[in-house]
Chain A
Amino acid sequence: MKLLSPQDWAAHKGKFIALWTDADHAYALYQPSELVAVKLEHGAYPALPHAGAGWFQRLAHDLNGHIAAGAADTRPAVDHGRNADGTGPWPEFSAPEVEGVHQVAVGPVHAGIIEPGHFRFSVLGEQVLKLEARLGYAHKGTLGLIRGKSPRLAARYAARISGDATIAHSLAFAHAAEAALGVTPPARAIYLRAIMAELERLANHTSDIGAMAGDAGFAFLDARFAYLRELICAACATAFGHRLMMDIVIPGGVAGDIAGDGAGAIRAALDAIEAELPSLTRVFEDYASLQDRVVGTGIVPLALAEAYHAGGYVGRASGQTHDSRLLPGYPPYETFPLYVPVEKDGDVAARIKIRLAEIPESIRLVRDMLASLPAGPVALLLPPESGHGLGVAESFRGPVWHWLRIESGSIADVFVADPSTLHWPLLEHAATTAILADFPLINKSINGSYSGVDL
Chain B
Amino acid sequence: MVWKTVTRHFISRAPAPLTAEPALVASLRERLQAAGQARLGRSLAIRHVPAGSCNACELELRATQNLIYDLTQYGLSFTPSPRHADVLLITGVAGVNMVQAVQQARAAMPDPVLVIAVGDCAVDGGVFKGSPAVKGGAEAMLPVDLMIGGCPPAPVQIVQGLLALIEAHDDASAPPRPVVP
Taking CB atoms and an 8 Å cut-off, the chain A residues in 62-120 that contact chain B are: 78, 80, 82, 85-88, 108-109, 111-116
How far apart are B171's CB and chain A's nearest CB, in angstroms?
A: 29
**A111 (CB) vs chain B CBs: closest residue:** B80
Interface residue ranges of B24-60 to A (CB < 8 Å)? 48-60
Q: Which residues of A are found within 8 Å of B135, using beta-carbon distances?
A: 86
User: In the complex, are the beta carbons of A276 and B152 less than 8 A apart?
Assistant: no
Instruction: Check B58–A115 contact: CB distance below 8 A.
Output: yes
Q: Are A82 and B96 in contact (CB under 8 A)?
A: yes
The answer for the CA separation of A454 and B134 in the assembled complex, in Å, is 13
- Assess whether B144 is interfacial by the CB under 8 Å rule: no
Answer yes or no: A384 CB below 8 A from chain B CBs. Answer: no
A233 at the interface (CB under 8 A from B): yes
Q: A115-B50, A244-B152 are contacts. A140–B67 as well, Cβ < 8 Å?
A: no
Is the Cβ of A160 less than 8 Å from the Cβ of B95? no
B67 partner residues in chain A, CB cutoff 8 A: 223, 226-227, 230
Given A137-B95, A244-B152, A279-B5, A207-B57 contact (CB < 8 Å): no
Contact A164 to B55, CB < 8 A, known contacts A140-B133, A279-B5? yes
Q: Which residue from B62, B81, B127 sits with its C-beta under 8 Å from A207?
A: B62
In the complex the two chains form, is A243's CB within 8 Å of B54's CB? Answer: no
- Distance A207 CA – B152 CA, assembled complex (angstroms): 17
Is the Cβ of A139 less than 8 Å from the Cβ of B95?
yes
Interface string of A271-304 (1 = CB under 8 A from B): 0000010010001000000000000000000000
> Which chain A residues in 211-237 approach chain B with CB under 8 Å?
211, 220, 223-224, 226-227, 229-230, 233, 237
* A43 contacts the other chain (CB 8 A): no
Q: Which residue of B lies closest to A156 (CB)?
A: B127
Any A CB within 8 A of the CB of B1: yes
A95 CB, nearest partner CB in chain B, Å: 22
Q: Which residues of A contact B18 (CB under 8 A)?
A: none
Assuming the contacts A233-B63, A276-B5, asked whether A116 and B51 have C-beta atoms less than 8 A apart, the reply is yes
Look across to chain A and name the residue whose beta carbon is closest to the beta carbon of B67: A227
The count of chain A contact residues (Cβ–Cβ below 8 Å) is 53
C-alpha gap A174/B141 in the complex (Å)? 35
Query: Closest residue to B131 on the A side, CB-wise?
Result: A141
A86 touches B56 (CB 8 A): no
Asked if A144 CB lies within 8 Å of chain B CBs, one says yes
Q: Assess the B127–A451 pair: CB atoms within 8 A.
A: no
Q: Which residues of A contact B81 (CB under 8 A)?
A: 111
CB distance from A312 to the nearest CB of B (A): 16
Does B19 count as interface, using CB distance less than 8 angstroms? Answer: no
CA distance in complex: A29, B6 (Å): 51
Number of interface residues of B (CB under 8 A): 53
Q: Does B78 contact A (CB under 8 A)?
A: yes
Q: Which residues of B contact A139 (CB under 8 A)?
A: 52, 95-97, 133
Contact with B along A247-288 (1 / 0, CB 8 A): 000000000000000000000000000001001000100000
The minimal Cβ–Cβ distance linking B113 to chain A, given in whole angstroms, is: 15
Interface with A: B100-108, B162-170, B173-181, which one? B100-108
CB neighbours (8 Å) of A375 from chain B are: none
A116 engages B62 (CB within 8 Å):
no
Contact string against B for A residues 364-389, beta-carbon threshold 8 Å, 1 for contact and 0 otherwise: 00000000000000000000000000
The 0/1 profile, CB within 8 Å of A marked 1, for residues 73-85 of chain B is 0000010111000
- Per-residue CB proximity of A178-216 to B under 8 Å, as 1/0? 000000000000000000000000000001000100000
A383 to B78, CA, bound (A): 49
B54–A161 touching, CB < 8 Å: yes
Residues of A within 8 A of B95 (CB): 137-140
A229 touches B5 (CB 8 A): no
Residues of B within 8 A of A230 (CB): 63, 66-68
Determine whether A163 belongs to the interface, using a CB cutoff of 8 Å to chain B. yes
On chain B, the residues within 8 Å of A116 by CB distance are 49-52, 98, 101
For the complex, is B61 an interface residue (Cβ under 8 Å from A)?
A: yes
Task: Verify A144–B131 contact, CB threshold 8 A.
Answer: yes
Q: Which of A130-157 contact B (CB under 8 A)?
A: 136-142, 144-145, 156-157
Please give, as numbers and ranges, the residues of chain B lying within 8 Å of A279 by CB-CB distance.
1-2, 4-5
Chain B residues whose CB sits within 8 angstroms of the CB of A244 once the complex forms: 56, 59, 152
**Chain A residues near B130 (CB, 8 Å)?**
145
CB pair B97–A450 under 8 Å, yes or no, is no
Q: How distant is the Cα of A141 from the Cα of B121 in the complex, in angstroms?
A: 13
Nearest CB of A to B139, in Å: 14
Question: In whole Å, how far is A80's beta carbon from the nearest beta carbon of chain B?
Answer: 5
Asked if residues A137 and B97 are in contact (CB atoms below 8 Å), the reply is yes
**Nearest neighbor of A231 in chain B, beta-carbon distance:** B68
12 contacts between A and B (CB under 8 A): A115-B55, A116-B52, A140-B93, A144-B131, A160-B128, A163-B152, A166-B56, A207-B59, A220-B2, A223-B66, A230-B63, A279-B2
Extra inter-chain contacts (14) besides given A139-B97, A160-B126, A227-B66, CB under 8 Å: A111-B80, A114-B58, A116-B51, A137-B52, A137-B95, A138-B98, A140-B128, A145-B131, A160-B128, A161-B54, A163-B152, A223-B67, A246-B56, A246-B152
**Residues of A near any B CB (own CB < 8 A):** 78, 80, 82, 85-88, 108-109, 111-116, 136-142, 144-145, 156-157, 160-164, 166, 207, 211, 220, 223-224, 226-227, 229-230, 233, 237, 243-244, 246, 276, 279, 283, 449-451, 454
